[in-house]
């Protein structure tokens, strides 16, 4: 599929950079962009792409939310459909078996904050701003923000953010655990690539298993989550990477993981 609003850069280190590009509206998500994101994550070539980084075009905005001009005249059914479309795409993104990072280069508001939260890691530039301003428009977060935000920052702060609709800066987002790190805008992508690079030196099947345990374990009872970890742990002993990784340690040599 040729994308109207997405720029895809497949780097030779296995990192794919997906840039949301709708500069006239600060990269606001219209339904075409949501379909393009859905298409991209549904068809991602995991034999080549080992990590996905998502960012916004320009210096001002990551994604300024869902496109308000498209939503203004929607009825109940269309509102439901829009919520389902975005939430479905973001759920597929969340479930990719590779590390995903949001490089938040500016406004991450409403659906933009929700897109960042569907990634595993968020790294923000100092000029990033986060918020869920939907109640000021007469709606609520509709791309799973009412679910993911409290998982990340706890119910009290999630309710404060959603009920007040206030914007917070990158340092506050760091303090509450919404982002992993904050850096100067010029260093953002290099810092993201450095962190992803560290991840890609490790065993990919192990990372995928850890991601499944963390993502799925949250919604389980303690016994279920621990049982899931037992199973995932055991399965890794059927991989070449486990044999190779442990032998390399014992033989004091460097390891190159194969993802097998």
User: Which residues are known to be catalytic?
Assistant: 114, 134
DSSP H/E element including 172: helix 170-175
Tokens (6 digits) for 248: 């390399």
Crossing angle (nearest 10°) for helices 145-153 and 155-164: 130
Sheet holding 51-56, edge to edge: 6-10, 15-20, 51-56, 100-104, 121-125, 181-183
- Nearest residue (CB) to ligand HXC, 116 versus 208: 116
Nearest alpha carbon to residue 71 among 13, 31, 120: 31
- Nearest residue (CB) to ligand HXC, 26 versus 192: 26
What minimum distance in Å lies between the beta carbon of 213 and ligand HXC?
A: 29
- Nearest residue (CB) to ligand HXC, 109 versus 158: 109
What minimum distance in Å lies between the beta carbon of 52 and ligand HXC?
A: 21
- Nearest residue (CB) to ligand HXC, 131 versus 204: 131
Euclidean distance between CA atoms 9 and 19, whole angstroms: 8
What minimum distance in Å lies between the beta carbon of 103 and ligand HXC?
A: 18
What minimum distance in Å lies between the beta carbon of 223 and ligand HXC?
A: 35
* Cβ contact 39:86 at 8 Å: no
What minimum distance in Å lies between the beta carbon of 178 and ligand HXC?
A: 16
Q: Please give the sequence-ordered ranges of beta strands (E in DSSP) within the chain, or none if there are none.
A: 6-10, 15-20, 51-56, 61-63, 100-104, 107-109, 121-125, 129-131, 167-169, 181-183
Tokens (6 digits) for 31: 């339904």
Binding site for ligand HXC (CB under 6 A): 25-26, 28, 64-69, 82-83, 86, 107, 109-111, 133-134, 137, 141-143
- HEC letters along 173-202: HHHCCCCCEEECHHHHHHHHHHHHHHHHCC
- Nearest residue (CB) to ligand HXC, 25 versus 95: 25
Residue found under tokens 């203004």: 72
């Amino acid at each position: 599929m040729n994308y109207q609003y997405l720029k895809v850069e497949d780097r030779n280190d296995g990192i794919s950079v997906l840039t949301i590009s709708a500069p006239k509206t600060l990269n606001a998500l219209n339904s075409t962009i949501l379909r393009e994101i859905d298409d991209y994550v549904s068809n991602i070539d995991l034999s080549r792409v080992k990590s996905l980084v998502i960012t916004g075009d320009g210096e001002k905005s990551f994604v300024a939310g869902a496109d308000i001009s498209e939503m203004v005249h929607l009825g109940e059914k269309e509102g439901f459909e829009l919520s389902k479309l975005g939430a479905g795409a973001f759920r597929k993104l969340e479930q990719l078996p590779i590390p995903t990072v949001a490089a938040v280069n500016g406004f991450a508001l409403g659906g933009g904050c929700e897109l960042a939260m569907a990634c595993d890691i968020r790294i923000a530039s100092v000029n990033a701003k986060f918020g869920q301003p939907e109640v000021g428009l007469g709606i609520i977060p509709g791309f799973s923000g009412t679910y993911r935000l409290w998982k990340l920052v706890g119910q009290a702060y999630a309710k404060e953010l959603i009920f007040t609709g206030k914007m917070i800066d990158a340092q506050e987002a760091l303090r509450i655990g919404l982002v992993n790190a904050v850096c100067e805008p010029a260093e953002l992508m290099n810092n993201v690539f450095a962190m992803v690079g560290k991840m890609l030196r490790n065993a990919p099947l192990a990372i995928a298993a850890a991601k499944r345990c963390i993502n799925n374990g949250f919604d389980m009872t303690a016994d279920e989550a621990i049982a899931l970890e037992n199973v995932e742990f055991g399965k890794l002993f059927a991989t070449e990477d486990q044999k190779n990784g442990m032998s390399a340690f014992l033989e004091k040599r460097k390891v190159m993981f194969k993802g097998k």
